[in-house]
Amino acid sequence: MQELSTHDRLLAAARDLFLEVGPVAFSLREVARRTELTAAAVYRHFDGKEALLAAVCEEGFRAFGSYLMAALKAKSPRARLMTTGDQYLRFALERQRDYRVIFMSEVPAGTKMDPDSLPPTFAFLVDRVRECIDSGDLRAGDPMEMAVTIWAHVHGLASLRISGHFQNVGDDDAFRKIYTRSVAVLLEGLSP
């Protein structure tokens, strides 16, 4: 197995520490201790704790985006939208720590959903919705508004699962079936 670079070790340690202690108690000194580096070595890679945490989020979104790209292989707009939802859950289950940081942690003050500069992963969902509207798979409407509804639905289900809820349904494969049926029902409600 390939050893992680110093940069990647810092990102992993920062992500895990952030999840353990939150933004207030997070410190570069503790990240340095966990990676067996000096604080000065951490500063050679990142300008400060905000820059390190921003890099953790960027890496999480980069990984998430790579999962979403698999949806483009599906043959129809509706299949691409369903596969986008499947990939959302796959990312949540396979990369739970990244998922928790980017989707289940406190959003920095001043962050807002600006339609003129959507995050690429959300823009990807809006594009899938838009192509489903254009193909007649979804009713006419505001693609961003529908994307928010879909995101809230899949996020709610995935977050509940990784938070320990839905354990009574069985393993991840059993949950995936419930999730897939639930998303299909939601999309039926958004159909013409």
pLDDT, tens only, 35-94: 999 988 888 999 888 889 889 989 999 999 999 999 999 999 999 999 999 999 999 999
**Is 10 part of any domain?**
yes
**Is 54 part of any domain?**
no
Whether residues 39 and 64 share a domain: the answer is no
Whether residues 92 and 38 share a domain: the answer is no
**Is 137 part of any domain?**
yes
**Is 53 part of any domain?**
no
Whether residues 119 and 178 share a domain: the answer is yes
**Is 66 part of any domain?**
yes
Neighbours of 163 (CB within 10 A): 12
DSSP alpha helices (H): ranges in the chain? 6-25, 28-34, 39-45, 49-69, 77-94, 96-103, 120-135, 143-162, 172-189
Whether residues 184 and 91 share a domain: the answer is yes
d(CA 36, CA 9): 10
Domain range for residue 114? 60-189
Q: Determine the 3-state secondary structure of 15 from DSSP.
A: helix
Whether residues 152 and 89 share a domain: the answer is yes
Whether residues 4 and 37 share a domain: the answer is yes
Whether residues 115 and 155 share a domain: the answer is yes
Confidence (pLDDT) at 133 = 98
* pLDDT tens column, 118-162: 789 999 999 999 999 999 999 999 999 999 999 999 999 999 999
Whether residues 79 and 154 share a domain: the answer is yes
Confidence (pLDDT) at 17 = 92
Closest CA to 105 of 11, 15, 167: 15
Whether residues 12 and 96 share a domain: the answer is no
Whether residues 92 and 66 share a domain: the answer is yes
Whether residues 106 and 163 share a domain: the answer is yes
Whether residues 41 and 125 share a domain: the answer is no
How many domains, in total, are found in the chain?
A: 2
